[in-house]
Structure 1
């Protein structure tokens, strides 16, 4: 709470959260997903999908800027943030169903979907199920089936090792130490949210649940990817190695992103020159500008 002195004394107001107002979204099987909303309804709605172990807070430097010119929605997938776990599993197909439930809740659109990392395939699959409501996709350093490196034994061993180490660090209350720099750059209310929610053992359990089938499901897309018709697709690649990606992996990721943009009749490939994988933290303004490019001209912040 804060106190504001007015002409008739003290007026008490509830402080506004950086990521807007809270809202619960019901899924088709009765679960509740926690969402936060900025901006007014009436135009395009931008919905953000976070990476594998991340929740709504990972968009805290992007969503508020988008909320100045569009309705901007972030949410926590089941088992992350404030959303309860999903006892039925975390298959890619099921996560996309949850996202379509989010879209239906905030409908009728039009929507721009923004997905980071493993969130990229989720928004691609959900988009294919709601093409009539889509204004565009922005994929931020997405996981993509065109990158052969994802399906080798080495990558899977690395992923298992990362998840095991992360779970141990979470149990020891040490996981957030690895993210001290990122936390320092966040607004105080978002930093408090992440310190309470983002580094718990339950988050790593959800990541492991997702990882059981994610790559196998993604591999099937190599022959039969989701179709997006003429929906504009922008793919943003980090230029730098780091954040767990060596130079060879980074090169493979950029090549897969270029391929994804080339497959779209309205594709665009953008390089984030000063970033590795966590572009939402290192170059949020670039993501904001690419979202704005997809808005109808009458709603564009530059109009």
Structure 2
């Protein structure tokens, strides 16, 4: 998402493609996008260009339901951003249309992992997933995923067709729902953690936001809340210094220690930061270090409420 204009400020496509290739060169094998990132499928088209010629190296994941076709209705999904809601349409009759549009944007024959971006409050999850399953039968999609769902929705969906991955926000400052994690473990569903660096906050370097930054919509990043959150995050930053790694690396390594089947999808625009993030996958944290982190997080009360 950070590689499309209008999300975290301006960026050009050449720089964005260099970022994706830097990730692949660093050993990343999972690229996550959505038809709703950027205008008119910009992010999918960007990913398609970047992975062309490297397709066999990459698991390409994308999502649908927010970039509703013109003339179609949508339902409100409440979120914690300042604008208060997203508009979702997960009707079964539109699922193939969404997928075909994404395949054209990406320039690929099949989507490796296809998510419903948010559950449609007006459509039973079984109906959406049933239409997604037909895409698997027809070879347009290889695996199904759900994003931003509850444990109950995951169970109901999995009864219709096996769900490979569930994607929800999870980081040091946003715990994953315990019931959802338990359901995923029980069903053998992988967990993909979006915003594993807390929209960049957990890098320890966010002191203010530039013009056009999407995070202006998130209460946790308002001037007063951001200052308070940075003060409360100091013990984690200090621990990273003690370990000789960056706060971002510590946040990612901690997350990867939380479950055997969790995958993090940090976003970055800078090749150096991308290489730094990738290196975190190789860090083993001692039990004493994990306990120290847990103690620090217990006292880390976030100002600004939830991001979702």
Q: Scaled by the length of structure 2, what TM-score is found?
A: 0.32
Q: Scaled by the length of structure 1, what TM-score is found?
A: 0.33
